[in-house]
Structure 1
Amino acid sequence: MIALSLIPLYLVAVTLPLILAAIFGGPPRPFHQELASGLGILAFAIVLAEFVLSGRFKSVANRIGMDVTMRFHQLMARTALLFALVHPFLYQGSPSGGQRPWDPSRQLTLTTDLSALATGIAAYLLLPSLVLLSIYRTQLDYKYETWRLMHGISALLIALFLLHHTIYAGRYGAETPLTWLWVAMTAIAVGSLIYVYLIVPMKDKRQRWQVSAINRLSPRQWEVIVSPRGHSGLNYKAGQFVWLNIGHSPYSLHENPFSISSAPSSGPNVSFVIKELGDFTRSLHQVQPGTRAYLDGPYGSLTIEDRCEPGIVLVAGGVGIAPLLGIVREIRLTGDPRKVRLIYGNRTEEQILYADELADEDVTHVLTEPPQDWQGETGLIDAILLDLILPPVQVQDWLFVLCGPSAMMDTVEDYLIARGTPSGRILSERFEYD
């Protein structure tokens, strides 16, 4: 319901320039020219709105949900790209040239001023590069911090290039109300970058943390525990995540999102379960207790507070156990009477974490490469397995909380929807977004 309530606000934000163009733009031109201008206006407005849909604004991401926020961010980025790519070709066949005394409103001619067109061409080339690099970033061999830097700089340049192009090459952008609106919207977009990369780190700097313990849980999985220094800690809900920065300046790009595996009721220390995947995680063995750390958060809506379902099914794949472990721990500490069932998938037995701690829970372990003496379930967490272990009453009435690889989560979500589970009773959080 919250997500639906924000849709009108988004639509107003991205269509307001189009509405003002219709009001102040003068007599209409041929349809193909109006369509070209309209697509260009919408593309620019969507690009500017993308800055707020970056996932780093709690008022947006925590209310709507990180999955919805990031999927919408992806969809609208590709929509803006489509509009932008089509936009210039619709002007074909239109008269062009410099401004003429008999055409002060540029209703009959298009500008050929290279300075006005150059920024549009630059943005035209940068935007598809930005989208494609985001889609294929996991397949490309460069650091996450490098991608973040490239993504931020490219987005900033695209916004500034489009502002110049829209005002100086566009018929409607030259109108005073439109000019001020575009400047204001661009300022908000640029301001969001300043907030994320300067203001937030400034706040984080005042709340310093330090690594109090780091433990190897399996050959490639670690437990990291941080403690607050000079403050009361983090106000979070079980299942949320933070951006964790260990050993770097709060202004550094060396921060990564990790789910919190501790329970809010367990005290001020915050713990994480981290798998070795990238450059930072592969260097965890070098981190020493006492190393400074910074936390930006909490983020995410993978929480069970204020839910009224009689029971909860937690489905974890691999390191996706982290936020679900925090939920299990919080339920224990608070005496929550709801029934809990955990389905926990891994590749090998040695990857199962906190087996002793979870032994008292109703847990089903699933391995794709089980040992010969394995007594649990085997294979993937799929429809066949779920039909086998989930009674119909749980599928119909319980809350489902999912975290793990996208393929597993897609399978479970499709299964639940097909069996009649309302989408509002399926909470999920993915690890990767293109």
Structure 2
Amino acid sequence: MKLLFLIVAYLVAVTLPLVLSSLVGGPPRQFHQELASGLGILAFSMILVEFILSGRFKTISNGVGLDVTMRFHQIMARTALVFALLHPFLYQGTPSGGPRPWDPTRQLTLTTDFSPLSTGIAAYLLLAGLVVMAIGRTQLGYKYETWRLLHGVGALLIAVLLLHHTVYAGRYGSQPVMTWWWLTMTGVAVGSLLTVYLLVPLRQKARSWRVASVVQLTPKQWELTVEPVGHRGLNYRAGQFVWLNVGHSPFSMKENPFSISSAPAAGPELSFMIKELGDFTRTISQIKTGTVAYLDGPYGNLSVDGRVEPGVALIAGGVGLAPLLGILRQLRLTGDSRKHKLIYGNRVIDQIAYREELGEEGVVYVLSEPPEHWHGEAGFIDGGLVDRVFSEREFSEWAFVMCGPTIMMNIVEDHLIKRGTPSHRILSERFHYD
């Protein structure tokens, strides 16, 4: 329902400029000209709304999940690019030239003034480049911080360039009502960017944290714990995540998303289960106790708080245990009456974290490369394993929460649907897309 609301709100926001333009734009032109203008208007409005989608606004992201919001953002950005690419070519065959006395409504002609055309061309090229960079970020080898800076600056430039192009080159954008509309929408978009890069860091500066401990869990996995400095901590739900910045200014781009592995009932300290993968995570062992840290969050809806199902199934692959560990800890600390089971998969036995705390009751350990005399499950987390762990009744009544490799979640989700588990009882979050 929340996703449906997001889609409807998005469609209203991006099509409203099209409706307003049709009311104030004057006599109709040939179909291909109107289509060209319509696609340009849609592309611009979609780009401006993208600022809101990617702005980490909790009202939006925590309702449907930040992963869903960001996936929607990616799809719509690519759709906007297609509209923008088609926009100029549909004007072919249209007489061109500067403003003419006999055509005050620009019904017959398009401007050839260099300035408004050049800003449109520049935005056209920048948008294509921005989408390509986002799709191929991993392959291009950009550091996350570099990519994020380029993405933010590039989006801002596109918005400003398109504002100029739309107002001065467009037939509809030059109408006073539409000019004010585009100015307002651009202002809101830029404001959302300033919120993320300026206001949020200012709030973080007033609510700092410090590193309380750094503990090695396995050869390449660590537990980082932070404690609040002069404030009560974070109001969050087990299973949520934050953007964590350790040892840098709150205005720094050096922040990364990590799931909270501690439980709200355990107190104000927050713990994170972190695997050595990227530039920051490989330096975890070097972080000193007392190092300043900043948090932005909480985000995500991978939580079982308030749910009415009689049981909770937790399915984790590798470091995907982190948010599920927070949920499990919360269930245990609060004496929650709901039944629960955990499937926890890894490649080798040395990768199993928190085994002593997790225990054996209600926990199924899975290794794809098990040692001799291994008494747990061997192989991968798949439909067959899930069938062995859960009963028919549990498939239909329990809530299933999973986090781990995308291929694992895809396989398990498909199998759960086949076994009759309603989709609203399957909770997962993804942060890697094509």
TM-score range (shorter-chain normalised) is over 0.9
Q: Which residue does the alignment assign to 2:112?
A: 112
Say whether 1:98 aligns with 2:107: no
CA shift, 1:234, in A, is 0.7
Given residue 122 of structure 1, which amino acid in structure 2 is its aligned partner? A
- CA distance in structure 1 between the aligned counterparts of 2:23 and 2:322, rounded to whole angstroms: 53
Q: Could you tell me which amino acid in structure 2 is paired with residue 374 of structure 1?
A: W
TM score, norm. by length of structure 2 = 0.98
Secondary structure at the residue paired with 1:293? strand
- Give the corresponding residue for 1:177: 177
1:144, 1:396 → 2: CA distance? 41
- State the secondary structure of the residue aligned to 1:52: helix
- Deviating 4+ runs (over 4 angstroms): none
Hey, what does 2:340 align to over in structure 1? 340
CA distance in 2, matches of 1:234, 1:425: 27
- CA distance in 1: counterparts of 2:179 and 2:63, whole angstroms: 32
Percent of pairs with identical residues: 66
**What residue is the counterpart of 2:382 in the other structure?**
382
Q: Secondary structure at the match of 2:90?
A: helix
Q: Which residue of 2 aligns with 1:144?
A: 144
Partner SS, residue 156 of structure 2: helix
* 1:38 equivalent in structure 2: 38
In structure 1, the partner of 2:310 is 310
Q: Secondary structure of the equivalent of 2:243?
A: strand
Matches within 5 A, 1:51-70: 51-54=51-54, 56-70=56-70
Distance 1:248 1:344 in 2: 34
Equivalence for 1:394: 394
Partner of 1:225: 225
Between 23-32 and 61-70, report the one with greater CA deviation.
61-70
**How much does 1:418 deviate?**
2.1
- 1:55-76 Cα deviation digits (max 9, x unpaired): 5111110112122211211111
Does the alignment pair 1:330 with 2:330?
yes
What is the CA distance between 1:375 and its match in structure 2?
1.5
Q: Distance in 2 between matches of 1:431 and 1:258?
A: 11
CA contact (8 A) 2:244 2:293 kept: yes
| Residue 264 (structure 2) pairs with residue 267 (structure 1) | no
Q: CA deviation at 1:95?
A: 0.7
Q: Partner of 2:429 in structure 1?
A: 429
User: What's the offset of the Cα at 1:360?
Assistant: 4.6
| Structure 2: distance between partners of 1:361 and 1:104 | 79
**1:355 and 2:351 are equivalent in the alignment:** no
SS in 1 for 2:48: helix
Contact 1:342/1:361 (CA < 8 Å) preserved in 2? no
Q: Which residue of 1 aligns with 2:198?
A: 198
Q: Confirm or deny: 8 A CA contact 1:33 1:91 kept in the other structure.
A: yes
Correspondence list, 1:71-90, <5 A: 71-90=71-90
Shift of 1:384: 2.4
Cα pair 1:259 1:323 within 8 Å, conserved: yes
8 Å CA contact 1:70–1:433 kept in 2: the answer is no
Q: Structure 1-normalised TM-score?
A: 0.98
- Provide the rounded CA distance (Å) in 1 between the counterparts of 2:410 and 2:129: 28
Task: Name the SS of the counterpart of 1:343 in structure 2.
Answer: strand
RMSD of aligned residue pairs (Cα, Å): 1.1
SS at match of 1:91: coil
Residue in structure 2 matched with residue 373 of structure 1 by the alignment = 373
Counterpart of 2:418, as a letter, is A
User: 1:82, 1:376 → 2: CA distance?
Assistant: 50
CA distance in 1, matches of 2:33, 2:298: 47
Q: CA deviation at 1:431?
A: 3.4
- For 1:406, give the aligned amino acid: T
Contact kept, 8 Å, 2:239 with 2:303, in 1: the verdict is yes
1:233-264 CA distance string (max 9 Å, x none): 11111000001000000111011110000000
Unaligned runs of 5+ in 2: none
Paired residues of 1:312 and 1:400 also in contact (CA < 8 A): yes
Structure 1 CA distance for aligned equivalents of residues 187 and 298 of structure 2: 26
Does 2:320 align with 1:320?
Answer: yes
Describe the SS at the equivalent of 2:173: coil
Equivalent position SS for 1:411: helix
- Higher mean C-alpha deviation, range 364-373 or range 240-249: 364-373
**1:13 maps to 2:23:** no
CA separation of 1:28 and 1:56: change in aligned 2, threshold 3 A: same
Residues 67 and 428, structure 1, Cα contact 8 Å, conserved in 2: no
Structure 1 unaligned runs (5+)? none
Once residues 221 and 115 of structure 1 are traced to their aligned partners in structure 2, the CA distance between those partners, rounded to angstroms, is 55
Task: Name the aligned partner's letter for residue 178 of structure 1.
Answer: M
* Aligned residue identity for 1:52: I
State the alpha-carbon separation in 2 of the partners of residues 105 and 203 from structure 1: 49
Number of residue pairs matched? 434
Classify 1:333/1:360 alpha carbon distance in 2 versus 1 (closer, same or farther; 3 Å).
farther
| Alpha-carbon distance in 2 for matches of 1:162, 1:10 | 20
Deviations 1:137-193 (A, max 9, x none): 122222110111111111111111111111111111001111111110011110001
Is residue 279 from structure 1 mapped to residue 283 from structure 2 by the alignment?
no
Shift of 1:373: 2.0
The alpha carbon displacement at 1:129 in A equals 1.4
**Structure 1: distance between partners of 2:166 and 2:361:** 60
